[in-house]
Every structure is written in C-alpha cells, then in structure tokens.
Chains A and B, each alone.
Chain A
Amino acid sequence: MSKQVAVAGVGMHPWGKWGRPFVEYGVHAARAALADSGIAWSDVDFVVGGETVRNGYAGYVAGSTFASALGWNGARIATSYAACATGAQALDTARARILAGMSEVALVVGADTTPKGFLAPNAGERWTDPDWLRFRLLGMTNPAYFALYARRRMDLYGATSEDFAQVKVKNARHGLENPYARYRKEVAVADVLGSAIVSDPLHLLDICATSDGAAAVVLTSLDYARRHGLADPVRVEAISTVTPTFPNAVIDMPLLATDHAADGAPERTFKESLALAAYEEAGIGPDDVDVAEVYDLSTALELDWIEDLGLCKRGEAEVLLRAGDTTIGGRIPVNPSGGLACFGEAVPAQALAQVCELTWQLRGQATGRQVDGARGRDGHPRVGITANQGLFGHGSSVLLAR
C-alpha cells in the first residue's frame, strides 16, 4: 500500500506582530490553502489544529476553533501539541487518517499570536516543572541553550562569529521577495556583529524573534487527487516525529541535565535520528535532497541541522556555507524562504510554513526565491526536506517530493 498522500493546497498569513487574535490568521491561511487546492470547505472531512498555549481555551482546542470559525461542516476534528513540531504532528495525524482510508480530505492549520520578548514559562510557583526551574534556578533562557550549541561549533570545528553572521546575511537575502516573511531587508555581516550580544557568542541578529503568523495545508488521498484532476501534486513521502532514544546525551531545552550515558554517547543524536527516520520511511537518502527548510532558531543552529540531515559530514557545514552551497543557486539551498531569520517563530504554524515553502519550491511557484533543480519536473527541485526540534522530546522531519 502506498504511504503517500497529496499536498493539494497550501496557504499562509504573513508573519508579523499584528496583535490580532490567532483565529483570524488561521482562517486566512486555511481559506488560502483551500483556494489553492480548488477544494470546497464542505468537502473537508477532517480538521487538525495546531494548539497554541498562549491564547487561552480557544488555543487549547485549536481544531475545534478553526472548524467552528470556518463554519461547522460536520468534519471530525483533532488538536495537536508538540512544541515546535506541532505542525508536523498535526500533519502526521491527518496523513494517518487518510492512509487508513478513514478520511479523504484533511485541513491542517496552525496559527499563533505571541507576546514580546523572551519566551517565558507559565506563571505560578512550579517547583516540579523543568521549564520553570531553569529560569528560577539558572536564569537559563532559550537563547542560552542555542548559545551552548553555537559555542561548541566554535571550539570543536573552528566556526567563527562571521560564519554565523553569514547565515543571517544569506537568509535575509533569501527572504527579500517572500511576501509572507516579516523581515525583508538586506543584512550585512557588520550589522550582525554590531548588534548586542544576548548570550555569548550569539548576537541579537543571530537569534530569531517570536512572531504572529499562520500556515495551512490541505492533504488528500492520492485517489481523491486523481479523481479531482489534481495533476502531479506534491506528495508527502515521509513524516518523522520519532522521540529520542535513551540515553539522550545532548542537553535539550528546557532540561537541566542529560540522561545518564554510562557507556558513552550513543551512535546518533536525537536530531540525527529525526532525519534518518524520514529518509528510511521514504526509502531515499540525503543525496536525493534538492532543498531544505530547517529550524534556524539561531544562525548557528542552521549549521547543526545541515549536518544532522546528512547533507555534509559533522563539522563541515561552514565549508558548505562559505562555498555558497547553501545559497539559492548553490548545490543544496537551505532556507530559501528566508527561514526563521526572516519570519520569527510562530510555534504552531512554523513546521507547516516549512511545508508550504517546499510545496511552492517543488511546484516552481516560489517567485523571487525559486531554487533550480535539474532533477525535478520542469527544472524545479524534486525532493525537499524540513527539520525542527522542540521541547520535551518533540521534533520532526517531513520529506516532500514531486
């Protein structure tokens, strides 16, 4: 049995700091995705919402919230929460129901309205909550975790602050023409190095902001796509949402310590296993990938992901960066959308935004930022991969092909 489903439509609401209810963004993105697919809302039989934890009850029951806002049509609903991987988990839930033959058309929506500044934990005295304890006992913010990984790249592989700045320069250029990006302005290396250090070695411009935004994807069975004349749709080849295996020897936000690795570090890190599971599910490898959208919460983290996805050996991502391989026009463009550097993070929407971008890239519709692909149809890329990781063992990697 085929494990593929069709990406019939994608849509987004521009990222920004709009200050409107998240539901408005989500409905905007959902309607855009439905319009893109040519499928009527009345044909959708399953809605999965990505939960937002910062917007009250409506955010906790996001599947219901979006279905209701679009006008009850009787569709079944589900709500997913998987931190930064929320969108991918929601997508996987939709895919599973389609592959089981229990749904034909699923709408997946993620949207968020975010507060200003550092993401902080829930209020109250929460002495058993690691996300609360890391702030109380250590003052350990999200950027501090990103900085630990960045510093290791410098001390172990010779990465420099200029390398990190070049990631920002590249992504800022990629996002210039992206109508959904929040920041659409060229950035120079000197701008990054001249911005305040937040957590050494990371500067303010090395770290992504938090944003409002929304993304939506319409998935259908391949059979439905055929019957409704959707020619050559982008297909979901794999969705990896595996959890870590014990012992997880890399310190993960928001934890205060790693697992006990009595016999040394395991063969693979969690992030490496996320990509490997996607490749194995699709039956392809890193050499088949034409374009990648990875979670650049910091500039340095993009370099980590390039290696975690197997696009080069450990410690060699700076070589690709310096050679221009990861720039549009290079061998393996990374974050042609502009990435989180240009978007800022809207947690429940972000993994879906990655899928939207790759869908446009594989269709050849990424105006102003289109990646060339000799291997795909009409000179467009054939295979795209996403990657992200969130709190508490969540992460995802989605493989799309056309």
Chain B
Amino acid sequence: MTTSTPAVAGWFTTGDDPRLVASRCTSCGTLAFPPPPPEAASFCRNPACDGDAHEPAELSRVGRVWSYTDAQYQPPPPYVPTTDPFQPFALAAVELPEGLVVLGQVADGYGVADLAVGAEVELVVETLYTDDDGERTIWRWKPVVELGEEADQ
C-alpha cells in the first residue's frame, strides 16, 4: 500500500471533511492563507494591527466560484506532470464565506464547462503527483451541483 501525504504540510486537513488551514492573528482575527511556515515569524497583514502571534484556523469547506480557467498546455517546472501526453486540468478561484478568495485546481473529471462565476464548489483532497515518498495530495475544488443536473431540475 502506498502512503498518501499532503504535497505541502499544514495547509489543509484530510479525511472525510477536509479543510484549508489558514492562520488567524490572535490580536485582531485577520486570516491569512497560505499560513506561514511554523518556524517563520508571522506579522499580521492588517496594517492597523501589530500582532505577531497566530493560530491555525480551518476555513469553510464550501465557497462560490470567483472565476475559473484551465491549463491546456503543460505548465513549466516546478509543475510535476503526471500523464504523458499532458491532460488539461481546470483551475478555480473560490470566494469563501470568511472573505478570502483561494485558488485551486478543480477536481479530477471536471472542466470549465462544469463551472460558472458564482457557482458553489466544495473542497476535496486528491492526488497531485507521486514521488519517492508515495502519493502527494493537494486540495481541489469540486462543483457541488453539476450544471447539467441543475438544468434538469
């Protein structure tokens, strides 16, 4: 059995109800994503706050599409290609209820035709690539209701 670990540590949780993990300023509550590395200093991004301590804060799992696109050509390194020939994938910027817009790839099997500005998407965790340590996972945005289904209702 292969192991499965996040491609980047501390940015999202896994399991049945995965979430992005932001950092929250303990002085003013301002959120930041991605969170700073654990060993790094963190100065609050709010110019009216001089806070420098923060705590992890899980973000809402469901948001609305701010905009979306795809990659029809293989991006250059350090992108790690997983198929040969390259398979296009979709990307979405998603507005979360907390007031942040977060980019992500779109879940496997979905493309731009499944997306619209304002449409609801939810966070899932899928395999980004496989390296010597096994499968490396990443957060992705998955349409909550496929547009075709919506039209049928």
Give me the interface of A with B, judged by CB distance under 8 Å.
117-118, 120-121, 125-128, 132-141, 144, 147-152, 155-156, 196-202, 245-247, 249, 251, 256-264
Contact = CB atoms under 8 A, between A and B. Distances in A.
Given A128-B37, A144-B71, A137 B138 contact: yes
Contacts of B79: 135-136, 139
Contacts of A118: 73, 75-76
Given A127-B8, A199-B69, 6 more contacts: A120-B77, A135-B76, A144-B91, A152-B67, A251-B93, A258-B100
Interface string B26-39: 00011111100100
B70 A199 contact: yes
A22 to B, nearest CB: 21
B66 A152 contact: yes
Given A151-B117, A200-B72, A246-B47, A260 B91 contact: no
A138 B40 CA distance: 23
A134 B71 CA distance: 13
A202 B91 CA distance: 14
Contacts of A120: 76-77
A260 B31 contact: yes
B101 A262 contact: no
B116 interface: yes
Interface centre among A150, A197, A200, A264 (most CB of B within 10 A): A200
A317 B112 CA distance: 25
A141 B101 contact: no
A137 B98 contact: no
A155 B73 contact: no
Interface in B110-137: 112, 116-118, 128
Contacts of A127: 8, 37
Q: What is the predominant secondary structure among interface residues of chain B facing chain A?
A: loop
Contacts of B22: 260
Interface centre among A150, A201, A256 (most CB of B within 10 A): A256
Nearest to B101: A258
A150 B70 CA distance: 12
A201 B30 CA distance: 34
Contacts of A138: 91, 103-105, 138
Q: When A and B form their complex, which 8 residue pairs have the shortest distance between CB atoms, in order from nearest?
A: A147-B69, A155-B117, A120-B76, A148-B67, A139-B75, A260-B31, A136-B78, A258-B101
Contacts of B77: 120, 135
A127 B69 CA distance: 25
Interface in B49-74: 66-73
A24 B73 CA distance: 33
A108 B29 CA distance: 44
Given A148-B67, A246-B47, A256 B34 contact: yes
B99 interface: yes
A258 B102 CA distance: 7
A138 to B, nearest CB: 6
Nearest to A148: B67
Contact of A152 (B7, B103, B117): B117
Nearest to B112: A200
A233 to B, nearest CB: 39
A199 B100 contact: no
A128 B56 CA distance: 18
Contacts of A196: 72
A262 B98 contact: yes
A323 B103 CA distance: 35
A300 to B, nearest CB: 11
Interface centre among B46, B76, B77, B116 (most CB of A within 10 A): B76
B145 interface: no
14 contacts: A120-B76, A140-B71, A141-B71, A141-B75, A144-B91, A147-B69, A147-B70, A148-B91, A152-B67, A197-B72, A198-B73, A201-B69, A251-B101, A257-B34
